[in-house]
Structure 1
Amino acid sequence: MDPLKTITVEAQDSTEILSLNRPDALNAVTPEMIDELTAYFSGLGDRLATRVIILRGNGWAFCAGAELGSEAFSAPGSGRAQRQLRIQQRYSQLIRLMRSCPQPIIGLVHGAACGAGFSLLLACDVRFATPEARMNAAYIRVGVGGCDMGSGYLLPRLIGLSVASELLLTGRFLGAERAKAVGLVSDIVAAERLLETGLEFAAEMARASPMGLRLTKQSLNALIDAPGLDAALMIEDRQQVILLETQDHQEAVAAFRQRRDPFYSDQ
């Protein structure tokens, strides 16, 4: 396997810390970074011993967005629309992989999270921010549509259509305080405690049974688009029946009764 050039991966127990690693460029997204992230998230389904992912940025910012001068923008000429669509789909596929991977993703945002960086943040399951964090859907400010890399789908579901429309139609920046007020981030923590907070939250999630954690993320993805209460209840009912048949359910009940921590086998 070729050495990673634009990201780093560090394992801590059952959590992996995935860091965007172009600090001199404020972690701007390039096709090379997209390809490395795509390979990483594509492989998570085969690595279930990894329970939780923390996504962060090295250096002064989470991610300043797509690098405008990169090969992500196809050269003019015949067939440009087709070439550009292929590039666009390379980028958007990453969001699909993030949402469908079995592991919940904790996003840690400091500094700027703009454009593509904002979309990466939206694709996380839980987000924490430092007080100086600033984020925006910058797409519309560079002459393209405000909905890109899942922002038009994810943002309204996270914060509601009205505020999402405000942000997507203007590219307006959202500071940490308002991001917390509208429910986009769970909490605001000091910069020096950001990673610690992420690891603590990952450890809390890892107290759940492995399959229970995976199916909860899967169910939430399905339930957000469920056509009604009946469909939602059917999804939940089936999830619970499956989990009730696991050894880990029996272990969790025994641990609760014996007032000890459970020891899960993912069986």
Structure 2
Amino acid sequence: MEDRVRITVTDHIADVKLIRSDKMNALDPAMFAGIAEAIAQLAGMADVRCVVLSGEGRAFCAGLDMASMASGGTGTSLADRTHGDANLPQHVAWGWRTLPMPVIAAVHGVAFGGGFQIMSGADIRIASPHTRFAIREVYWGLVPDMAGIALWRGIARDDVLRELTYTAREFEGPEALALGFVTTLADDPWAEAHALARQIAARNPEAVRGSKKLFNLQPDLDGAAILQAESDVQLGVIRRPNQIEQVMANMEKRAAVFVD
């Protein structure tokens, strides 16, 4: 993992960086493996309350390293469900959504193809206005197959997704914001993402994780099931020490001290 992804944890925030900057963080077999390993590591880090995901150098992620993939692919079959419901390429995008804590993507330069799908797995996406985006797969005669279809259904309109996929055209930050792919624009997405992460990390981590769980459930459940899930999750949060601490800290106008 160390030659493709770096994780640094400070004040309950995990700064996760793709570090293949000489190739604009393009996805080769080692990058797929490194991202999967990073997701697995983060899943077990109870003290991490928020993740900031970014790319080192000139870009967030330029998508597949086509030369590298042509010589052997990811090393696993697309038919194999190696990570729960997902294969390895799907997991490196979908896996961010399955983490218990929120993930903020800080995006700059380019987010093409697989990079765009990885970005889409984040809970919140902050981009530079000049970032270039593309659902790039049809350009190479492929279909988007890194969980994009599953992730985008709650982000953008169906007809918009079809147009961008069929044409593989590029678009920039303001259009990405208007279409719903980006949460907000910032000249320094990484700094903005960390400022937001600090706000999230200052809230009851059980409430934040529970809220993410509910948002993850809602696309696949009917109204009655969502109502039941709200009650079930709340019963695991209410009157627990961290929830009581949140109330006391608010009343005393001080920073809360939580137990992770």
Q: TM-score over 0.5 for the alignment?
A: yes
* Residue 252 in structure 1 maps to residue 249 in structure 2: no
Q: CA separation of 1:73/1:224 partners in 2, compared to 1, >3 Å: closer, same or farther?
A: farther
Measured against aligned partners, the alpha-carbon deviations of 1:59-112 in whole angstroms (never above 9, x if no partner) come to: 11111101011146548xxxxxx8464599221122332211112111011111
* Long gaps (5+) in structure 2: none
Match of residue 171, structure 1, among 168, 193, 216: 168
Letter aligned with residue 170 of structure 2: F
Measured against aligned partners, the alpha-carbon deviations of 1:186-226 in whole angstroms (never above 9, x if no partner) come to: 21111xx3221111000111121111111111111101222
Q: How does the TM-score come out when normalised to structure 1?
A: 0.89
Letter aligned with residue 64 of structure 1: A
Q: Distance in 2 between matches of 1:105 and 1:187?
A: 15
Q: How does the TM-score come out when normalised to structure 2?
A: 0.91
Q: CA deviation at 1:232?
A: 1.2
* Count of aligned positions: 254
Q: Distance in 1 between matches of 2:207 and 2:77?
A: 41
Residue pair 2:5, 2:16 contacting (<8 A) in 1 also = yes
For residues 87-166 of structure 1, what are the structure 2 equivalents within 5 Å? 89-145=87-143, 147-166=144-163
Could you say which residue in structure 2 is the equivalent of 1:225?
A: 220
Match of residue 10, structure 1, among 4, 8, 11: 8
Could you say which residue in structure 2 is the equivalent of 1:195?
A: 190
Measured against aligned partners, the alpha-carbon deviations of 1:28-71 in whole angstroms (never above 9, x if no partner) come to: 01110111111111122221101111111111111110101114
Q: Distance in 2 between matches of 1:240 and 1:72?
A: 49
Letter aligned with residue 69 of structure 1: A
Measured against aligned partners, the alpha-carbon deviations of 1:100-136 in whole angstroms (never above 9, x if no partner) come to: 1112111011111001100100001100111110111
Q: Distance in 2 between matches of 1:244 and 1:150?
A: 34
Q: Distance in 1 between matches of 2:256 and 2:90?
A: 39
Measured against aligned partners, the alpha-carbon deviations of 1:163-189 in whole angstroms (never above 9, x if no partner) come to: 112112221222100111122212111
Q: Distance in 1 between matches of 2:10 and 2:17?
A: 13
Residue pair 1:44, 1:102 contacting (<8 A) in 2 also = no
* Residue 212 in structure 1 maps to residue 210 in structure 2: no
Q: CA separation of 1:251/1:197 partners in 2, compared to 1, >3 Å: closer, same or farther?
A: same
* Residue 183 in structure 1 maps to residue 180 in structure 2: yes
* Residue 47 in structure 1 maps to residue 41 in structure 2: no
Q: Distance in 2 between matches of 1:184 and 1:144?
A: 21
Match of residue 29, structure 1, among 19, 27, 30: 27
Q: Distance in 1 between matches of 2:87 and 2:202?
A: 36
Letter aligned with residue 187 of structure 1: T
Q: Which moved more, 1:215-224 or 1:66-75?
A: 66-75
Alignment root-mean-square deviation, CA: 1.9
Could you say which residue in structure 2 is the equivalent of 1:265?
A: 259
Residue pair 1:22, 1:28 contacting (<8 A) in 2 also = yes
Residue pair 1:30, 1:72 contacting (<8 A) in 2 also = no
Which structure has the greater CA radius of gyration?
Answer: 1
Task: Percent identity, please.
Answer: 26
